[in-house]
Amino acid sequence: MSNPNHHVPAIVIGRLPLYLRALTQLSSEGRRVTSSQELSEKLGFSSAQIRKDLSYFGEFGKQGTGYEIEFLEKSLREILQVHHVWEMALVGAGDLGHALANYDGFEARGFRIAAIFDADPQKIGTLMGEWRVQPIEEMRQMLRAQHIHVAIIAVPAAAAQSVADELVEGGVRAILNYAPTTLSVPPRVKVYHIDPVAGLQSMTYYL
C-alpha cells in the first residue's frame, strides 16, 4: 500500500472520507462487494475518477468482480489513519460547542473529544456533557501533557486566530475551523474550514 503523504493530490485525500462513508453504509446493509460504478452513482464522481483515486494507494479490486467492501473499508481507515481513535480538543463552549460536544458520530469515525476550553469565566468549570470546561490559559500545557494533536475551533471569528496560535504552540497539527475567518498557521499544520454561510452562498449562485 502506498504512503498517502507522497505525491497524492489534496483533492484526492479529500474524497477518501466520502468513499469510506459510502462503504460503511454498504457494509451496514450487509453488502460484501461493490463496484466503482455503484460508488459513482452514490457519490456523484465518475467511476474512472474513483478507480484513479484508489490506484494511488494500490490495487483494491478486480475487473469483473469489483471491490471487497470489508477490505477496502479497512484499507481506507488505515490510509486516513482513523483505524484508531484520535483525541481532540474543542475550543468554544457556546451553542456550536455544545452541539459538537453532543454529536455522537465522532468516535465511530475515529475521533473523541478529550477536553473543552473557553475564555468566558462564567463557563469555566461548568459541565458540558461529560466534560468540565477548562480555562483557555491552561490549554497549551494540557494539550502537550495529553499529546492532543487535533482540535476544533468553535469561537467567534475575532478570537479564532489567537486560539489557533495557542493550539499550534500546544502541538496541535490538525485544526477543524468553524469560525468564519481564514487562519494563518505554519505549513506543518493542516486546517479545514467549515463555513455554512459560504456554502449557502455558493449554492444560491445556482438558484
Task: Residue 150: name the closest of 191, 179, 184, 108 by CA.
Answer: 191
Write the CATH number of the domain with boundaries 86-199.
3.40.50.720
Dist CA 33 CA 50 (whole Å): 15
Dist CA 5 CA 9 (whole Å): 9
Determine the pLDDT at residue 4: 46
Dist CA 179 CA 185 (whole Å): 15
Four-point Cα dihedral 144, 147, 150, 155, nearest 10: -40
Determine the pLDDT at residue 6: 59
- Tell me the per-residue pLDDT of 79-129, one tens digit each, with 9 for 90 and over: 999 988 999 999 999 999 999 999 999 988 899 999 999 999 999 999 998
Please report which confidence band the pLDDT of residue 1 belongs to, taking 50, 70 and 90 as the band edges.
very low
Q: What is the largest CA-CA distance in the chain?
A: 62
CATH for the 10-79 domain, from 1.10.10.10, 3.80.30.20, 3.90.1170.30, 3.40.50.300: 1.10.10.10
pLDDT at 139 over 90: yes
8 CB-contact burial (10 Å; exposed 0-12 / middle 13-18 / buried 19+) = middle
How do the domains of the chain map onto residue ranges? 10-79, 86-199
Give the SS3 label for residue 2.
Answer: coil
Task: Residue 136: name the closest of 101, 193, 88, 89 by CA.
Answer: 89
